Chains A and B, each alone.
Chain A
Amino acid sequence: MDRALNRELLQTALGDATGLPTPRELAELLARAEVALIRGARDVDPTLIVTGWYLHSVGSALPALQLYGLERQRQAFQVAGHIFDLALDAPDMDTVERLRFTFASQVANLRGSLDPNAIAAYRWRRGDVPPVEPVSEDLPLQIGTALLAMDSRWLFDRLYGLRNALAVLDQAGSVEGQGGLFRARTRLAEGAAGLHRYLVYGVAQTLDRAQAQLEEAARDTHPAADLDARWVAFHLWQLLGYFRESSLWAVLPPGAAPTVARAFTMGQPAVTTLWPPQVDLLRRDQTPYALDPAVRRLVFSIPTSSGKTLIAQVLAADHLMREGMGVCFVAPTRSLCREVEASLRGRLRALVRPADVRFDDSQFIDIGGEEPVVRVMTPERLAFLMRTDLDGVLAAYGLFVFDEAHTVADRDRGWTLEWVISTLHALTQQSDHRIIAMSAALGNRAALRGWLDPTDTGFHFDSDWRGPRRLHAIYTTVKDDATAEVLPRPRPNSPERVRYELRGRLHVRPTATGRVTSLETTEPVGALVVRPATRTRDEKASTPFYQTLAPLVGALRQGGPVLVITPTKIEASRLASAVADQAEFEGPAWLVDLAVARVGENHPLTACLRKGVAYHHASLPSELLLGIESEVVGGGLAVVVATTTLTEGVNLPVKSVVISAQGVYGPNGFEEFITGARLLNAVGRAGRAGKEAEGWIVLARNAEFGIGDFQRLAPTEDEMPIASTLSIEAALQELAELEARLAAGADAALERIGRVTDGFVSFVWYLAAIAEDRDTDIETMVQQVLPQTLAWQQLNAQARTRYGSVSRHVIAAYRGRDEETRRRWSRAGTSIQTAARLEAIVAGVVGVIQSRGGAAFTSTEEILKAVLEGGRLDRLYTLPEAVIARPHNQRSGQGTRELAVDHMALVLDWVGGASVQYLADTYLGETRDPVFRLEELADLTTSAFDNFLPWILGIIVEWVNGRLADDDADGPALPLALPSFVRYGVASEHAVHLIRSGVVSRPLATKVADEYAASSDRGDSSLREWLCSVDFADWRGRFGATPLDLRSLLEFARPPDTQLAARLLNDEEIEILVHAVGAVGAHVAVSLVDVPGHPTPSPLGLWANDALVATILPEHQAEVDAVRATGIPLQVTLATEGRDMTARIRLAASV
């Protein structure tokens, strides 16, 4: 249901007005307009427009006149905003009229508390800036729309200059006390500039002055009224209260450093005002106050695309500056971690060194140093750090942020998150550490609160607020009886078959209870062939359901990017190919080239990408997936068909989401799994806040349409329970089995029942180790922490007693081992029985090394053989933690069998840098379908090399080296980077360094590292210094780098201690060496513009009178670019001293 079509809201907004549609009629008109948009018709009924202006005027009435109630005015603005959003899509509107509708929509959305839609209304103007002069008639509307969309680039580029020019004009035609013809627009420009300055720089007096200027403009009495200027000024003046309340400067505590606010107002992208739930959550005038350091537990739930991440960023930035302690940000997947890292780094550039904001993805213990740092990591990584050095973790981080906290209920990984949070929660009860749990999809929110804040002294916040509206639809197919055609029988005794054309039908219900409008395709979307005698469907001759979706997806893409969620990988690739077959546009050339290089010319993904269509699933190379994600965001790809790994992995908002099916046929019939939180996560991507005011959600059903289908799109909280993995039925069964074995005298450390009991035993073992570390009683520690788990909140007393009893067995088993062994097993992070099995494997490796007689290793291959040969790799692959994919010769059907893979050789080739295609052909050659072969290889390498093997190798390296050191043995230690070699598929530490620094492409990392190693003239240069000595213009060709690669290399190229962006944004002047390409005199003012003729990111040129005189060095480009992206004008002067040319850069003083 959409709120703007809610009948009560319409009733309130319209009041008892005459001459207008009734609420029912208005709902119908709006619904029709929404449905028309899906059809591609974009003209809006004039009655709607008139109603929109009426509602706008209701909303605009001064409260002092007491004409309408405040609530009615707010709702009137909401509906008006909706109408004008629709009107903005009308074709053939002239620019001035479009600007007027845009401004009206922006005002209505802001005053209707739907802030992102105010930015979305401006979408058409970005990149399409009409020219403007002081006496352009549309100047007021240009100012108003740019300000309300916070188009800082336009405002910095144009507004301040226009303001100055207008002031001269106004001065010439005014006398003391009275303004002339241009007074209104002059004051409007001044007021807008003042308001903009307040929002960006926080100068309160400019806001007071702006208020007076805007009021003067609105009240201008010149008889030749500049009505637009007065109208725009009036609304900006009326919005000042909103700006005062929602600006970053207003929300942050008075004692907060100004740099914290600037990190947002000047960051990338700039954020000057907060959205309603953000304001509600962060407002100062409430108790408890979220930013109060005394509030140590925060739990909040806000829908997707409603600004949850920004809130965490504000909390993190404030914490960093005030507490001087680090921030640990935990996100469930590595791809999300990368995304969080990138956004935090951009955001915090003004506060800390960029190098101090990092996705911690290594195998090493790297908690942080003296300076507060921000580390982004998965729960597993934090678990590893806590097992290794809990006190170090608590000393380094004062704030722990857990994003997507609902994943605590995940069957596979939830327990790790639960014990990590529980342990931190229990052990920081008396300290100042803060824990934030946030999520978009929390079911029983009370459970999470009860867990983390049993005394109810923390901060809780729930909101259902959303910016973009949502339109729900159900897609089905129907056979067209009029097209029945009896097919010729292939054989005389073949049953009769009848063929029908299928039509696609879209059932749209824009209101919760209103009429459903059904749209039918004019062309057939496929065929249905049935055997009338048996009433069965001829599957082979009928069009598969997914294929009938292609025309729908093609139609939806007219409105903006479409994300199609399919239940299986194969359906993703097939549907994408079907959509691509009908597409007539081009995909980004660089991405096509990358696909050719990684998966081959004949791969279906390559063909799809050529048509601007992609598919995305876990069995594709990660660089391609990243490239696809970046192009969907950037607009280069119109359609992406994906499995739910995408919606669970990254935040990729689109205009439309289509769920092609909610499940698949399995042994027990049709099994649905795209439901509950998973469904919510997927459909939550529809409607890009700030880009469009509406998202479309379509659920495709290969069944007859029923009105109840709409309920499927709105899962209730009951369908998204947050249940501890220890509390579910299967867990209690495992527990019973463990209890039985323990009763029979089994060793608690060595029993393997299942994942849940393994996890519980390891946890208790870990608590015992902490107690020992801290010299406290083990039972006391266990009794302190266990009750702080979510499980303890949810289990009944009997189950708690049972787990408690098992914990006593575990403690006994712990005490039964020698101190060194039990501590080592605790750190391993595996199940305790796996740790015990690793002892034997490690002993084998130590034996091999000692047998070398002290000879050093000469290659990574040699090391890997020493560790993994002798059957050790096979033994590792039989550990319960090893869930290694088993490749098959074909997808399914008769003759399907598992392939025998030479895993040892595969590891060696993988680390040796062999291409994915080579590995697939070599190790899975029996898989005939080359596409499936690549997918099987990706599954195999991901399952083996992404987590499992690096993790286990990390343990082996530590234990082996420890043994060698303890025994004072004569043998080479294993390199600490060994697990990274396996994870990243590279054989050098330089390549690992590049990847850990953000370079995603394995071939690129290898290429750059190899060139560096082979470089004869590098001298003492570090890899980074050597890279910077290569002309940036040559990087693309020399390293075969894609645009994404170049950006990551530019980030890598930055000196670790540099803070150019932070210094610039804090109004310092910086001086940097530049690469001279022409001669200049002393102190020449230059402009900073991309060097043409290079694809993005291109070299940054310094230009004097249209002549290129220098370029920014690659080591500075990322920082300078970051400041440039804020839109704040820069003042650059060049100077030559001897052979060096330097640039002095500062923010331009003109603003």
Chain B
Amino acid sequence: MTTRRASEHLTWTRHSEADPKWTQASALALGAADIGQLATMIAGHAVEHRLSHSEALLDAWRRVQAGGALYTGIEAEALRAYLHPLDPSSDPDHLEGAVAEYLWHVLSIEDDDEPPLVRIDGPKVFLTAPGYDGLTVRRDEALVFTLWEIKKHTGANLSGVLSDAYRQLSLKAARYLTEVAATSQLIADQELAPLYARLVEAWIAGEPHLRAGVAVTAQAERAGCFHRMRESFGHLRAPDPCVGLLAVLSDIPSFARRVGEVAWTGL
């Protein structure tokens, strides 16, 4: 079990012929133990992501996870700052949003059906901050940039959540990408740097290497989803200009709480 990847816990359904094409990754079939395992994996993934380049803190976290010595005062203080979005006592809405973003991150990395991932940006340091949620760069025949808006849905009206996601992404994309473009053009990669620098122009012009993505974590599987996404991104000229990802968990609040509890063990 421990050797399995997180994505292997999920049931994947590809809607490749749909417009837009979308993928469902569902955990509804999992029993309580597997759900717990999945939560632990997501927590570990999130912690490792946030503690990248922070080996000492990560070692301390692993030590406590393994039942070793408790955190020192300095370790605990630092970890509370580094892992703040996963605080199980924080606003459940924020915690669930953070878990949805990390779920997207894991699934994007582990989705072998997609072309190879060149870069993935996000989740960010402040997960509730307004701004784009993620940007993936994959190499198909050419490089494809997908700008992601990530949502979680615990209520009844999924289409409302999706509409919000489309609107935010279409209204704010230029602003999101302005910040990404300015900073990411600094990378050493000679092929990527000018593409990053031109991201805003390319997005507005709908150039073929730009796509819009919406990822939602919901509590029910769907036969159809993302029907109206194309309407918001009519200017994009990529062959598949829109892409959807639906992650399904039976109980998002308790799953998110569990992720938080694992991440914050000992804090």
Which A residues form the contact surface with B (CB < 8 A)? 17-20, 46, 49-50, 53-54, 56-58, 60-62, 65, 67, 94, 96-97, 100, 104, 134-135, 137, 169, 172-175, 178-183, 218-219, 222-228, 230-231, 234-235
Contact A231 B183 (CB under 8 A): yes
Contact A175 B55 (CB under 8 A): yes
Most B Cβ at <10 Å: residue of A18, A20, A57, A235:
A57
Chain A minimum-CB-distance residue to B183:
A230
Contact A17 B204 (CB under 8 A): yes
Given contacts A175-B53, A218-B183, A224-B50, contact A135 B178 (CB under 8 A): no
Taking A17-B205, A19-B205, A223-B120 as given, write out 5 further A-B residue pairs in contact, using a Cβ cutoff of 8 Å, ordered by the A residue number.
Answer: A53-B174, A57-B181, A65-B194, A173-B57, A175-B55
| Complex interface: chain A residues within 8 A of B179 (CB) | 227-228, 230-231
Contact A60 B181 (CB under 8 A): yes
Partner of A173, one of B49, B82, B122, B128: B82
Contact A180 B53 (CB under 8 A): yes
Partner of A57, one of B123, B126, B128, B201: B201
Partner of A227, one of B78, B180, B205: B180
A100 to B176: give the CA distance in the assembly, Å: 11
Whether a CB of chain A sits under 8 angstroms from the CB of B16 is: no
* Complex A-B: 19 CB contacts under 8 Å: A17-B204, A19-B204, A19-B205, A20-B204, A46-B171, A49-B174, A50-B174, A61-B198, A67-B198, A137-B128, A169-B78, A172-B75, A173-B51, A175-B55, A175-B56, A180-B52, A223-B120, A234-B182, A235-B182
Contact B182 A57 (CB under 8 A): yes
A226 to B121: give the CA distance in the assembly, Å: 11
Instruction: Report the number of A-B residue pairs with Cβ-Cβ less than 8 Å.
Output: 150
Flag B193-213 by CB within 8 Å of A: 1 or 0 each.
110011111001110000000
A223 to B193: give the CA distance in the assembly, Å: 17
| Complex interface: chain B residues within 8 A of A230 (CB) | 179, 183
Whether a CB of chain A sits under 8 angstroms from the CB of B84 is: yes
Contact A53 B175 (CB under 8 A): yes
Contact B51 A169 (CB under 8 A): no
Whether a CB of chain A sits under 8 angstroms from the CB of B15 is: no
A76 → chain B closest CB, angstroms? 11
Contact A172 B78 (CB under 8 A): yes
B234 → chain A closest CB, angstroms? 11
A20 to B174: give the CA distance in the assembly, Å: 12
Chain A minimum-CB-distance residue to B180:
A227
B112 → chain A closest CB, angstroms? 20
A230 to B131: give the CA distance in the assembly, Å: 14
Interface size class of B (residues with CB under 8 A): 35 or more
Partner of B182, one of A97, A135, A181, A231: A231
Identify which of residues 96-127 in chain B touch chain A, using a CB-to-CB cut-off of 8 Å.
120-126
| Complex interface: chain B residues within 8 A of A62 (CB) | 185-186, 193, 197
A54 to B120: give the CA distance in the assembly, Å: 23
Whether a CB of chain A sits under 8 angstroms from the CB of B74 is: yes
Partner of B174, one of A54, A179, A182: A54
A225 to B180: give the CA distance in the assembly, Å: 10
Given contacts A50-B174, A67-B198, A224-B50, contact A169 B81 (CB under 8 A): yes
A338 to B142: give the CA distance in the assembly, Å: 69
Chain A minimum-CB-distance residue to B75:
A172
Contact A57 B130 (CB under 8 A): no
A188 → chain B closest CB, angstroms? 12
Given contacts A17-B201, A57-B200, A65-B194, contact A223 B183 (CB under 8 A): no
A642 → chain B closest CB, angstroms? 43
Given contacts A20-B204, A173-B54, contact A225 B121 (CB under 8 A): yes
A21 to B235: give the CA distance in the assembly, Å: 14
| Chief secondary structure at chain B's binding surface | helix
Whether a CB of chain A sits under 8 angstroms from the CB of B129 is: yes
A721 → chain B closest CB, angstroms? 49
Given contacts A173-B54, A219-B186, contact A54 B82 (CB under 8 A): no
A1076 → chain B closest CB, angstroms? 42
Contact A135 B54 (CB under 8 A): no
| Complex interface: chain A residues within 8 A of B194 (CB) | 65, 67
Chain B minimum-CB-distance residue to A18:
B205
Identify which of residues 52-84 in chain B touch chain A, using a CB-to-CB cut-off of 8 Å.
52-57, 74-75, 77-78, 81-82, 84
Chain B minimum-CB-distance residue to A180:
B54
Most B Cβ at <10 Å: residue of A50, A56, A223:
A223
Contact A182 B52 (CB under 8 A): no
B74 → chain A closest CB, angstroms? 6
A225 to B101: give the CA distance in the assembly, Å: 14
A219 to B50: give the CA distance in the assembly, Å: 17
B46 → chain A closest CB, angstroms? 9
Partner of A224, one of B124, B128, B201: B124
Contact B84 A135 (CB under 8 A): yes
Most B Cβ at <10 Å: residue of A49, A61, A97, A218:
A61
Most A Cβ at <10 Å: residue of B123, B126, B131:
B126
Contact B204 A60 (CB under 8 A): no
| Complex interface: chain A residues within 8 A of B249 (CB) | none
A1025 → chain B closest CB, angstroms? 57
Contact B124 A57 (CB under 8 A): no
| Complex interface: chain B residues within 8 A of A61 (CB) | 181, 185, 197-198
Given contacts A17-B204, A169-B81, A225-B124, contact A174 B52 (CB under 8 A): no
| Complex interface: chain B residues within 8 A of A58 (CB) | 200-201
A3 to B64: give the CA distance in the assembly, Å: 63
Closest 3 CB pairs of A and B: A172-B78, A57-B200, A173-B54
A174 to B53: give the CA distance in the assembly, Å: 6
Most A Cβ at <10 Å: residue of B120, B130, B182:
B182
| Complex interface: chain B residues within 8 A of A178 (CB) | 53
Most B Cβ at <10 Å: residue of A100, A173, A180:
A173
